[in-house]
Chain A
Amino acid sequence: MTAVTASGRLPIRYVYLETMRQLRNVRAMVFTFAIPVIMLLVFGSTFGGQVDPTTHLQYLVVTTLQMASYGAMMAALSQAFAIVNERSLGWNRQLRVTPLSGWGFMVSKVIAAMAFAAVSIVITVLVATVGLHASLDPGRWLAAGFGIWCGVIPFALIAILIGQFAKPSFAQPLFMVVFMGLAILGGLWVPLSVMPDWMGSVAHLLPSYWLNRIGQMGAGATGASGMTEPAMVLAGWAIVLAAVIVWRYRRDAARQ
């Protein structure tokens, strides 16, 4: 059961089994899922029903999307640890004596990352709607959630980059720097409106800002150009990261 693509066959069954294997370890991700929910409960219930002047959305909705973005990003980035761990065990070495290509490997990890991101997004939105009664049109929730979900692709690629190419001892600190940087500077922890101006300019360079933005746009925030602009920026990030991964993968293979 394979699909033929330009760069070789993608073993669909492998991608499916790999994703199911990772989802079976969902217990290891409990903290990843819980942190955005806890932050949502704290911030969301504090600011509640007021309306955010920049997006013209309910503060609770803004916070929900922010936390959904944060949770989805964290779920996707955590693939870095899975990959580092698998590398140290020698699993990757075993995979290299199979037809699985670099592309196939990358796709399997992106899909697993998206599966975890989906869990995090759904939990966060459910807590907001059922628990905190955030009010938004269901279609809008769907558009926002779907936008964030697709928007995690560049983060999955960042995780692959860290997991595949950072030395094991270096992966942990690198992960923390990247993760904290993206969360704080991208405005996923604290809204950018309460931050200094220069941070707003930095934020516009980061995919995490646009991840949050695509959610807000999906939810119908006023201003700017809808979901297209953030989608384009995130797609650009994904293309650049994928190119770097493929380049590094080839260089790595040639050097060994």
Chain B
Amino acid sequence: MNDTPVIQLRDLRKRFGAVAAVDGVDLTIRPGEVVALLGPNGAGKTTTVDLALGLSTPTTGEALLFGGEPRAAVVTGRVGAMLQGGALLPDMTVRDAVALVAAAHRRPMPVDEALRRARCTEIAGRRVNKLSGGQLQRARFAVAVVSDPDLLVLDEPTAAMDVEARHTFWSSMREFTDAGRTVVFATHYLDEADTFADRIVIMRAGRIVADGTPAEIKAITATRAVRFSGVGADTHVALRGLPGVVSLEARHDSVTLRSDRSDDTLRALIASFPQAHDIQVVASTMDDAFLALTADPAAAPTDTAPKGVLA
């Protein structure tokens, strides 16, 4: 029906003195997408979020929300946000905090509805400074959804949450995204990005280094590990030459080959080195992909990436 991008960043740059916190980011997010923004500390995630929301002005480039100025989208209540370093006042109850923010919006949802959606009904009467880490994040989530936004921007929403709290949080998030709304969340937790996002954007040093579905991101490193024993060190050169092998690690008697065509590697290995035993083939994890992509620039795996995935 309406395919105006929810977020559109064009050649966005932000410098703080000599430091380029955001260094040329192009990103288009369409309605209904659930996007994880991944990256190590200092990658520029928070600055990108601030620029997208109009909380700070870009040095060059432009940020649009729903095709217009970010502030206009904020004013009409189409954006809800849980920002890093944005807190609630400690001496208020959760309900009062949500009601106060609701009063600043033009067409908020009922306060009780926001509390229910964020699983805050039971803690509504509690003071903010008496909340646990997970409860506080839920209260902040209630504040973020009270304007009934079309876009939710969450900067590390599950920081300081234990496993159960994270589970509760993401189930309330599901309810929100099932209604077709757009969510962008920055996170350190790779499994969260893998499980809850349908698109992952990885940032490093102010740039986007990868952008794709969780499966595509994993495919960027595209490797499986083929691990075995029983082959001597004198065979390493020959092992490196097997089809698909991109790297070799050896520890004691055990050898690990990283391969982007593990089936071929395995067949060739068994044919050429029948003495190999205890063979395992292990899929690479999200962590492997993340570490590979956010390693120092010289080591970035630009040559192993499938076309169109690497930004």
- Residues of A at under 8 Å CB distance from B? 2, 9, 11, 13-14, 16-18, 21, 24-25, 86, 89-91, 93-100, 104, 253-254, 256
Contact = CB atoms under 8 A, between A and B. Distances in A.
Given A17-B99, A93-B83, A11 B104 contact: yes
Contact of B83 (A2, A14, A97, A253): A97
A13 B143 contact: no
A94 B103 contact: no
B86 A99 contact: no
A91 B99 contact: no
Interface of B: 50, 53, 55-57, 74-77, 79-81, 83, 85-92, 96, 99-101, 103-106, 143, 147
A94 to B, nearest CB: 4
B96 A21 contact: yes
A97 B103 contact: no
Majority-rule SS of B interface residues: loop
B88 A14 contact: no
B118 to A, nearest CB: 15
Contacts of B83: 90, 93-94, 97
B14 to A, nearest CB: 10
B96 A256 contact: no
Contacts of B53: 97
Contacts of B55: 93, 96-97, 256
A30 to B, nearest CB: 16
B75, B79, B103 interface centre (most CB from chain A within 10 Å) = B103
Contacts of B85: 90, 93
B90 A89 contact: yes
Contacts of B105: 11, 98-99
A11 B270 CA distance: 74
B90 A98 contact: no
B75 A99 contact: yes
A96 B153 CA distance: 14
A99 B103 CA distance: 10
A13 B106 contact: no
A210 to B, nearest CB: 34
B57 A256 contact: yes
A14 B86 contact: no
B86 A93 contact: yes
A256 B89 CA distance: 23
A25 B189 CA distance: 39
